[in-house]
Amino acid sequence: MCLAVPAEVVEIHDGEMATVDADGARAKVSVQLVDDVSVGDFVLVHAGFAIEKVDQEEAERTMELIRELEALSGHDEIS
Amino acid sequence: MEKIKSQPGDLTLMEVCGTHTMAISRAGLRPLLEPGVRLISGPGCPVCVTSDTDIDRAIATASIPDVTMATFGDMIRVPGTEGSLADAVAQGAEVRVVYSPLEALELARGNPERRVVFLGVGFETTAPTVAATLLQAREQELANFYVLSFHKLVPPALRALLALDEFDVDGFILPGHVSVIIGSDAYGFVSSEFGVPCVITGFEAADILQAVYRLMVMKGEGQPAVENEYSRAVRPAGNEKALRVMGEVFEPADAEWRGLFVIPGSGLVLREEFRRFDAGSWDVELPEPARDRGCRCGEILCGRIRPPECPFFAAACTPDNPIGPCMVSSEGTCASYFLYCQEDD
Amino acid sequence: MAGDVITIAHGGGGTRMQDLLREIIFPLLGGDTLNTAEDAACLELPPGKLAFTTDSFVVKPIFFSGGDIGKLAVCGTVNDLSMVGARPLYLTLGLILEEGLRLEDLERVLRSIAEWSTVAGVRVVAGDTKVVERGMADGLYVNTAGVGVIPDGRSISISGAVVGDALIVNGYVGDHGVAVLKDRDGFGFQLDVGSDCAPLNSLVEAMLGVGTVHSLRDPTRGGLAAALKEMADASGRAMELVEKDIPVRGEVRAVCEMLGLDAMLVANEGKLLAAVPESDSTAILQAMKSHPLGADSSVIGRVTEGRKGRVSVLTPLGSARLLRMPSGEQLPRIC
């Protein structure tokens, strides 16, 4: 139901298609379901479609939280 | 983590989304959170909840000689009354695994002599993509592209669960990506009508822990609400364009959820004006429905029991030899347990 | 040679087949032994124990980023021999060709076999060619058998892991399976990563030159997860892995996430999993990192006390989960 991956829009094509890049992996996806997609936007990709734009600032904040959590936990056993 | 541990209380929380179940198992969160917080899995796996009859119909359709069925990989090994799509392939059915419904469209374009039927499974995350594909098919006037829709909707299922007498959870962890489409407002009734707090969250361990913490706080304060911890992608009204596309092609209908019952308005069928694309309207021969296998998937999906409590779990029912969809789908509650959780030592 | 595709006649044993051998196969594969066209190769073997293995290759497509079915065949068999500590020497080559296969494709595969045999230091000394009807063999199937010799004093076995051993992989996992996927019809992914297909015998020799190795496994089908589980089961040991120490390239991880695949279950063709005694692990890791095929080597865990066959993975959060054998082929999924 839910495997969607954030990716950066690197090129827009005719016919409501775009090339996105996730960490170096590139795919061609449809942007039929999202308005106003521009190069540089981040989108969630599911089943070959962009399903929504991702707010980059919020995404950064989450990555911070994740990094913090992992740094704190490290190899300690949490009991 | 400490914050969670410092909260008092004994909570039972339901995660609704199969992808959350998988993420929780991968991160080893269940044992970390117990005994104070007990996480149970709800009916969030669209593969798991596809009924036997529906799978039989998919197999019967795929077995028609000029049909090429295109499907997501998840569905290939799901057992119906008499075997799975994989078994049908061994018998000569032509089935292709695709990553996107757009690939099925390509297949139809490139093989005009075949009827290409796309097997539509998934919740509101996926249904708009199938709808968009069908609109393209109509625009291109493709004569050999069809959809067999077993799509389902999440909010009606939540409502049906909440209405059951024996259903009693302290909070919901709501599916992040379904919510991207339907928006956080769609769940308002859960807290306002039923008084159960909910948190919409993403799939990193940190996201899930954050959700658990917020649910504990809301429960503790007696202030149930729907909180959105996935605001980087989820808006109150959701993705209106996607909802429009979905609504243009599909309409709600009653649907049978495997192991549960028929939930009103919880499925999606093609609208009348798309009937010519609807493989669900074809006349196919279905096998006699099976007598009750004795599998307890339904209770697992409802969160009433956990996989180890089913007598078949890890014995007669394994990923290699699955009985119910909970074990077949790699996201299924039982398969997740089998693959990722701690055994008792 | 007349025509530019393989026909049924090429497998018939008559003049057409002789033409194929003499004009294409022998010149490309070369070698004294092969050219004698005896019914069997007569070979000298150095002292030591004989190691013998076979494999068939049916990969589709036959040409993919980073390799082809020929390179895969040579490396696959060379690596099987290396995993038991044998020095690979000779290969046989069985070809099953589909009617209609383009001669230039066959030549390309044979050139690849010749090239990689030279790199690995082995020779193709015997072979067989069959032709099957159009629609069979996906273009070309290959079978190889390989012999090698295990020098005295070496004892490397799938059951050899011992409590306390360090578990080492020689680099990024998941590259091959993902590379092959991207070149198949559909999916439409592009990434710069190609197959990691490579002959590992020289890397194994470098490792053995500085220390003892208890156990080796190449994580092909079923990926690293299968190799770990097989090693744990065979040796009757438990293992503890550290998830963040398992090297996976960012773009491979991204493709796996998009398709719902687990990088630990994806096939590799140029990787090995080694269990080495703790005391030798630093030297061996160093030797591996100095070798071109081991630059990204990493210690990913340890062999431990515990229930036999139990492989647990320490997550970045500090919790543990269990690893089990994948059942059947991984398929892309949306959930």
Task: For chain C, list the domains and their CATH numbers.
Answer: 8-150 (3.30.1330.10), 166-323 (3.90.650.10)
Angle (nearest 5°) at CA B293 between B291 and B297: 125
Query: How many domains does the structure of chain B reveal?
Result: 1
Per the DSSP assignment, residues forming a β-bridge with B199 are B173, B227
Which one of C188, C251, C318 has the shortest CB-CB distance to A75? C318
Q: Which chain B residues are closer than 8 Å to A44 by Cβ? A: 177, 180, 233
Q: What is the pLDDT of residue B30?
A: 80
B176 within domain boundaries: no
| Contact at CB, B206 and A66, closer than 8 angstroms | yes
The tokens for B27 are 């991160």
User: Average pLDDT of each block of 10 consecutive residues along chain A (79 residues)?
Assistant: 86 94 93 96 95 84 70 48
**Residue ranges making up the domain that contains B120:** 52-153+238-281
Compute CA B42 distance to the chain's CA centroid, rounded to the nearest angstrom. 10
Q: What is the pLDDT of residue A73?
A: 63
* Chain A / chain C CB contacts < 8 angstroms: 64
Instruction: Give the mutation candidate from B339, B342, B344, B345 for the C interface (greatest C CB count, under 10 A).
Output: B339
Q: How many whole angstroms separate alpha carbon C222 and alpha carbon C215? A: 18
Q: What is the pLDDT of residue B41?
A: 77
User: Average pLDDT of each block of 10 consecutive residues along chain B (345 residues)?
Assistant: 69 85 81 82 81 93 97 88 91 94 95 97 96 97 97 95 85 94 96 95 88 91 93 94 98 89 95 96 89 73 80 84 72 73 46
| CB atoms inside a 10 Å sphere around CB C52 | 12
Q: How many whole angstroms separate alpha carbon C131 and alpha carbon C123? A: 24
Interface of B with C in 242-281 (CB under 8 A): none
Angle (nearest 5°) at CA A1 between B284 and B327: 75
Scanning chain A, the segments in alpha helix (DSSP H) are 56-73
Angle (nearest 5°) at CA B210 between B206 and B216: 145
What pLDDT digit, counting tens, does each position of C274-298 carry? 999 999 999 999 999 999 999 999 9
CB B278 within 8 A of CB B295: no
B197 within domain boundaries: no
| Contact at CB, A5 and C257, closer than 8 angstroms | yes
Which one of B103, B318, B343 has the shortest CB-CB distance to C322? B343
Q: In angstroms, how far is the first alpha carbon of chain B from the final one?
A: 25
CB A38 within 8 A of CB A10: no
CB B63 within 8 A of CB B91: yes
CB C97 within 8 A of CB C106: yes
B198 within domain boundaries: no
Enumerate residues 6+ apart whose C-beta is below 8 A from C38.
none
| CB atoms inside a 10 Å sphere around CB B135 | 15
User: Average pLDDT of each block of 10 consecutive residues along chain C (335 residues)?
Assistant: 80 84 84 76 92 94 93 97 97 95 94 96 93 90 97 93 97 94 74 95 97 96 94 96 96 91 93 98 98 98 93 86 72 77
Three-state DSSP at B58 gives helix
* Closest to C96 (Cα-Cα) out of C108, C86, C84, C106: C106
Interface confidence (ipTM) of the complex: 0.88
Q: Which residue does chain A place closest to C255, by CA atoms?
A: A25
Residue carrying the six token digits 């690197």: A10
Classify strands C273-276 and C166-169 as parallel, antiparallel or unpaired.
Answer: antiparallel
Q: How many whole angstroms separate alpha carbon B120 and alpha carbon B126? A: 8
Three-state DSSP at C77 gives helix
State the DSSP string of A28-58: EEE-TTSSS--TT-EEEEETTEEEEEE-HHH
Q: Does B227 touch chain A (CB under 8 A)?
A: no
Chains that touch A (3 or more CB pairs under 8 A): B, C
Which one of A2, A34, A62 has the shortest CB-CB distance to B125? A2
The CATH number that applies at residue B251 is 3.40.50.11740
Which element (helix H / strand E) includes B101? helix B101-110
CATH 3.10.50.40 is the classification of domain A5-73: no
Q: How many whole angstroms separate alpha carbon C284 and alpha carbon C295? A: 12
Instruction: Please report how the helices C278-289 and C201-210 are oriented relative to each other, as an axis angle in degrees rounded to 10.
Output: 130
Which one of A32, A35, A59 has the shortest CB-CB distance to B232? A59
Where do the structural domains in chain A lie, given as residue ranges? Answer: 5-73
CB C164 within 8 A of CB C277: yes
Residue ranges of E strands in B194-335: 198-201, 226-228, 250-256, 262-270
Compute CA A75 distance to the chain's CA centroid, rounded to the nearest angstrom. 28
- The alpha carbon of residue A5 is apart from the nearest alpha carbon of chain B, in Å, by 10
Residue carrying the six token digits 């799978």: B55
Q: How many whole angstroms separate alpha carbon B96 and alpha carbon C331? A: 11
| CB atoms inside a 10 Å sphere around CB A33 | 26
